[in-house]
Amino acid sequence: MSVSALLDQWRDYLATARRRSPHTVRAYVATAERLLLALDLPDWEAVAAISTHELRGHLASRRAEGLVNVSAARELSALKSIVGYAREQVGAEPGTAPRMRGPRVKKGLPRPVTPDEATGLAAMVQSTATEDWIGLRDAAVLLLMYGAGLRIAEALSLTGADLPLGDKLVVTGKGNKQRVVPLIPIVREAVAAYAEVCPHPIQNDEALFKGVRGGPLSQGMVQKTMARARKALGLPATATPHALRHSFATHLLGAGADLRSLQELLGHASLGSTQIYTQVDAAKMLDAYRSAHPRESD
* Choice among 19, 58, 210, 245 that is catalytic: 245
* Choice among 13, 85, 194, 277 that is catalytic: 277
Concatenating the DSSP letter of every residue in 32-57 gives HHHHHHHTT--SHHHHHT--HHHHHH
* Choice among 18, 174, 200, 284 that is catalytic: 174
If residue 180 lies in a helix (H) or strand (E), which one and from where to where?
Answer: strand 178-182
- 194 and 126 in contact (C-beta within 8 Å)? no
Measured in residues, the chain has a length of: 298
Answer yes or no: 85 catalytic.
no
Answer yes or no: 230 catalytic.
no
| Helix (H/G/I), strand (E/B), else coil: 17 | helix
Rounded Cα distance between 7 and 30, Å, is 9
* Choice among 58, 62, 137, 151 that is catalytic: 151
Phi, psi of 227 (to 5 degrees): -65, -40
Answer yes or no: 268 catalytic.
yes
Answer yes or no: 174 catalytic.
yes
Answer yes or no: 277 catalytic.
yes
Answer yes or no: 151 catalytic.
yes
Contacts of 68 (CB under 8 A, 6+ apart): none
Name the packing angle between helices 241-254 and 259-266 (round to 10°): 160
Contacts of 156 (CB under 8 A, 6+ apart): 141, 207, 209, 216, 217, 218, 219, 222
- 25 and 14 in contact (C-beta within 8 Å)? yes
Which residues are catalytic, by number? 151, 174, 242, 245, 268, 277
